Structure 1
Amino acid sequence: MTLMNRSLYVSLLFKALTFIPRRRPADAAVFLSTHSYSAASRAPQSNLMAEYLVSSCGFDPDEAAKALKLLGRIESRHQPDSVLGLFKSYGFDDTQVKKVISANPRWLLLDVEKTLAPKFRALQDLGFSCSDITHLVISNNHAFSYKSQTILSKIQLWQGLLGSNDLLVKVCKKHRWFLGYSIEKTIQPNIEILRDCGITDQKLSMILRYRPLLGTLKAETLKALISRVEGLGVARTSGMFLHTLNALKSVSEKNFKAHLEFFEGFGWSKDDFLAAFRKAPCLVGFSLKSLQRKMEFLVNETRCAPSYLAPRPRILLMSLEKRLIPRYRILTVLKSRGVHIGNHQMITYMLYPEKKFLEKFVIRHTEFPELIELYNEAPKNRTAL
């Protein structure tokens, strides 16, 4: 490179360097102080929230760390304190508060007067006690994140369908997310489908009281279920229609077939099984293990023929340990001691109301005081069925 070219190159390089912006000392100080403050501020804010979750909400450090990921910045304790204050005013204890906040930590950032307080007051206006509100919020807290009108409309609808606040609270406690189902997309279409089947509002109210999840199925699922029930010979006009719908709701085609094959193994025909099912739809809700034990006991111990049991499926719905074994034990002892107990069929003795059976076959026979102890004796290998 010639001297002239080298001088030109150096000159251009110098000019280029002069155009690179340089931070002035004052600017650098501002920059460093701003970024130092930002980094330092985030830590205290996180620490403040973590300490708050531990000290005020009962979280352990690990639970607090997980909850922090869902929370934004907290400027002061005022907002979360107002949320906890509202809960306390409605009777939430420390354990219940923790349960609610654990499920939805963002509630601590809500404006109480604009969100939670109006909902809680509206529930009181609908007749719910503080205890009721506590249970509704704990069991279905995500539903209370909806707009006030949305959640209140759902509650009012279920009030009308179930007929009482107590039942609604009971259902919500048992089924989480129960209040999360859409009225327009799920509940109302299902009600119309059931009404189209000829089900009166009175019957509809009754079934929803005891089997409310029937109203929360997808419309397509409910329609398919109705077709399935009709295909098994249960007409829409039958008094067993709703019971059969509910029984099949949680029983797959595969499971239904397994129950059919099980009873065929005891000599029932397909028609026997379907006739038994139509009389006692919940028969297919029992496990095969449970039914196996009952059938073996009734056939081998009580000498009931399978052909006797087929048209009398109700006996298979009874508890083996709590009813079948204790009653058969009493009848056997009385017969062995020469007591005439009548010539009824086995199912007749099993269908007696508890009080009547005790009076007729246990308490009356004071000459055999051991009968009471025998009746209450737990069978070996007792399991709940």
Structure 2
Amino acid sequence: MTLMNRSPYVSLLSKALAFVPCCRPADADLFLATHSYSAASGAPRSSLMAEYLVSSCGFDPDQAAKASKLLGRVESRHQPDSVLGLFKSYGFDNTQVKKVISANPRWLLLDVEKTLAPKFRALQDLGFSCSDITHLVISNNYAISYKSQTILSKIQLLQGLLGSNDLLVKVCTRHRWFLGYSIEKRIQPNIEILRDCGITDQKLSVILRYRPFLITGNAETLKALISRVEGLGVPRTSGMFLAAVSMLQTVSEKNFKARSEFFKGFGWSEDDFLAAFRKAPTLLGLSLKSLQRKIEFLVNEAGCAPSYLALRPDFLLMSLEKRLMPRHRIVTGLKSRGVCISNLSIFSYLKYSEKQFLEKFVNCYKEYPELIELYNGAPKNRTAL
């Protein structure tokens, strides 16, 4: 057979050889050391990356086997080593590196200088410390998953509203999906809607920290929610408007109606329920069991009429064990001992601050140590109520 006749085979052989990886000597040694081959199939029994994930990232063998399937065949550890080196240069410890790579195994294949390092430097330029960056990336990997300009625009917007990187890191830690939402489609339109309702940037900061779903939800859904709140008689000018919007976001119309029926069982009318909601929207967030216990105590033991409670729904927001019961019982105890407490209504002594209540009803009656002991024996942390 002539050379010309053999040329098609030579050409095929050349193409096949082009796909054979060219390893450096050190990499070749590692590759051969970590791979065994079946005589029958010629296929590797173990993956270089699976071994790497175990030895360098702390994976267990099962985790490593699953993750390595996402990485394909990597012939050199130079690339993943450079990725791990970058993370550790920013203060990630071994546990944190494992957590990050477990969530994003393909990050081991990224070009550090072209992809990862510029994003880390950009976060530093925005004032984030290495510790901030560590917490931000661990809790919210969107921080370095998106294109640099996209994620930096989000962060700059949030920095302006929250006022500090510390708060931004806390929000992103609490809500791991937060940086994944589009500014143009979600965040900015919702912010503009809320601003049109008179919500200040200071209140927007509070929303971002505690009710971020109002910022990241669908804009049309937010508009419908605002219309629903106004339809229940809570105008945009009300100090309870934002609380009502936040609460109704989590309470369906069906559950709202069920709450109304619950209070009717204690003698409230529909108007009583709506009036109470306008004054204390967070009433809807309490469990029916908790509400029932409070109402039964206030009606049966403290002598409050249901209609009285409808006018003062904030009583139902107070802790039964930490505020309602101990305060009522110490005042009742003082009266039973002949202490003259003129013109004192339950409204007065329940609304006092903890410091005021102690001064007026506890500290000045040391001749009744049993009452003081009773009050001090109630659950602590009343100042938070």
Which stretch shifts more, 114-123 or 281-290? 114-123
1:215 alignment counterpart: 215
Corresponding letter in the other structure for 1:128: F
Matched, 1:324 2:324: yes
* CA drift at 1:371: 4.5
1:59 alignment counterpart: 59
Question: Equivalents in 2 of 1:38, 1:88: separation in Å?
Answer: 42
Contact 2:38 2:44 in 1 (8 A): no
Partner SS, residue 297 of structure 2: helix
Question: Equivalents in 2 of 1:101, 1:323: separation in Å?
Answer: 49
Matched, 1:107 2:107: yes
Question: Equivalents in 2 of 1:100, 1:340: separation in Å?
Answer: 66
Partner SS, residue 239 of structure 1: coil
* CA drift at 1:194: 2.0
Equivalent residues, number: 350
Which stretch shifts more, 122-131 or 273-282? 122-131
Aligned pairs (5 A) from 1:1-385: 40=42, 42-44=44-46, 46=47, 48-371=48-371, 373-377=373-377
Partner SS, residue 76 of structure 2: coil
Contact 2:235 2:241 in 1 (8 A): yes
* CA drift at 1:297: 1.7
* CA drift at 1:357: 2.3
Corresponding letter in the other structure for 1:313: P
Which stretch shifts more, 259-268 or 69-78? 69-78
Q: 1:56 to 1:276 in 2, by over 3 A?
A: same
* CA drift at 1:234: 1.2
Partner SS, residue 161 of structure 1: helix
Corresponding letter in the other structure for 2:326: P
Contact 1:104 1:142 in 2 (8 A): no
Kindly provide the CA deviation profile for residues 97-144 of structure 1, in whole angstroms up to 9, marking residues without a partner as x: 222222111122222222222222222221222222122111111452
Identical pairs, percent: 79
2:26 alignment counterpart: none
Q: 1:367 to 1:108 in 2, by over 3 A?
A: farther
Question: Equivalents in 2 of 1:253, 1:133: separation in Å?
Answer: 42
Contact 1:71 1:106 in 2 (8 A): yes
* CA drift at 1:329: 3.3
1:4 alignment counterpart: none
* CA drift at 1:38: 12
Question: Equivalents in 1 of 2:146, 2:80: separation in Å?
Answer: 19
**Root-mean-square deviation over aligned CA pairs:** 2.8
Q: 1:373 to 1:91 in 2, by over 3 A?
A: farther
Kindly provide the CA deviation profile for residues 197-238 of structure 1, in whole angstroms up to 9, marking residues without a partner as x: 344445444544443331111011101101111110111222
Question: Equivalents in 1 of 2:136, 2:267: separation in Å?
Answer: 50
Which stretch shifts more, 123-132 or 332-341? 332-341
2:30 alignment counterpart: none
Contact 1:123 1:133 in 2 (8 A): yes
* CA drift at 1:376: 4.3
* CA drift at 1:36: 7.9
Partner SS, residue 137 of structure 1: helix
2:31 alignment counterpart: none
* CA drift at 1:300: 1.8
Question: Equivalents in 2 of 1:65, 1:340: separation in Å?
Answer: 78
Q: 1:364 to 1:65 in 2, by over 3 A?
A: farther
TM-score calculated relative to the size of structure 1: 0.82
Q: 1:261 to 1:117 in 2, by over 3 A?
A: same
TM-score calculated relative to the size of structure 2: 0.82
Partner SS, residue 339 of structure 1: coil
Q: 1:113 to 1:328 in 2, by over 3 A?
A: farther
Contact 1:143 1:177 in 2 (8 A): no
Question: Equivalents in 1 of 2:364, 2:76: separation in Å?
Answer: 74
Name segments (4+ residues, structure 1) moved above 6 Å. Answer: 34-39
Question: Equivalents in 1 of 2:207, 2:70: separation in Å?
Answer: 40
Corresponding letter in the other structure for 2:91: G
List gaps (5 residues or longer) in structure 1: 1-22, 380-384
